Structure 1
Amino acid sequence: MNLYGLKTCDTCRKAAKALPDANYIDVRKDGVPAEVLSAAYHVFGDKLVNKSSTTWRGLDEAERARPALELLAEHPTLMKRPLITQGNQMWLGWTKDVQAELA
């Protein structure tokens, strides 16, 4: 199981604590592999982009209009977090539903 998140994100830290065996990947430091981003975008669509993030608010209208996968590759902190993968399964966020399924 891989957990893609930010070390500074409280939600990601909660998920990591609940999933101690998960391989934690810091998206700011290590990025997200293109194939993982592509698969996650196929599953979650535009929900993968965190439009309430500081990074999003810092983008101008022209940048926001770019394709989501390009933006996420360039600005991995734009991704909604955490993204949890295990085999072909993916979960986004740390909602009660995700917690019930994984923890």
Structure 2
Amino acid sequence: MNKIYYLASCDTCRKIIKALPKNLELAYHDIKQDPITEVELEQLHQLAGSYEALFSKKAVLYKTLNLKDKTLTEEDYKKYLLEHYTFLSRPVFVIGDEIFIGNTQPNILKLHKKLGLV
């Protein structure tokens, strides 16, 4: 099943979702309303190859907790991803057996190519 992990209150996520075809079969998972589970995180980890790849270093809490001054391990990344939704780089699309993490232009272009939109 194709799925998107996103934040409904995020303007960037909403903009990306709005650009998707209306008939796209996609399960929507708002990570603030329905926090990501350890099982779901493990599945994303398998596709991404690391927890760090899923982790947002742009999160305000990253700076607030002074995590930028610490050397984080994969277990640390996992712990923070499970503790607070803001640490997940958004949006995360799982399309088939591929994962698309974040809102960078190249990543969104790869997603659109995968979906046959370009």
Instruction: Compute the TM-score of the two structures, normalised by the length of structure 1.
Output: 0.79
Structure 2 residue runs of 5 or longer lacking an equivalent are none
Q: Distance in 2 between matches of 1:19 and 1:82?
A: 16
Match of 1:96 in 2: 109
Task: Tell me if structure 2 keeps the 8 A contact 1:3–1:16.
Answer: no
In structure 2, the CA distance between the partners of 1:37 and 1:64, relative to structure 1 (3 Å rule), is farther
Structure 1 residue runs of 5 or longer lacking an equivalent are none
Higher helix content, 1 or 2: 1
Identical columns (%) = 24
Amino acid at match of 1:10: D
User: Alpha-carbon deviations, 1:50-91, whole Å to 9, x = none?
Assistant: 101212122234987361111100012110111112443322
Q: Secondary structure at the match of 1:90?
A: strand
Match of 2:57 in 1: 51
Q: CA deviation at 1:5?
A: 0.7
Looking at CA atoms only, which structure, 1 or 2, has the larger radius of gyration?
A: 2
Match of 1:4 in 2: 5
Amino acid at match of 1:99: H
After TM superposition, where is structure 1 displaced by more than 6 Å over at least 4 residues in a row?
none
Q: Distance in 1 between matches of 2:70 and 2:26?
A: 33
Q: Secondary structure at the match of 1:28?
A: coil
In structure 2, the CA distance between the partners of 1:3 and 1:34, relative to structure 1 (3 Å rule), is same
Q: CA RMSD in A?
A: 2.4
Q: Distance in 1 between matches of 2:95 and 2:110?
A: 16
Number of aligned positions between the proteins: 103
Match of 2:32 in 1: 28
Q: CA deviation at 1:34?
A: 1.5
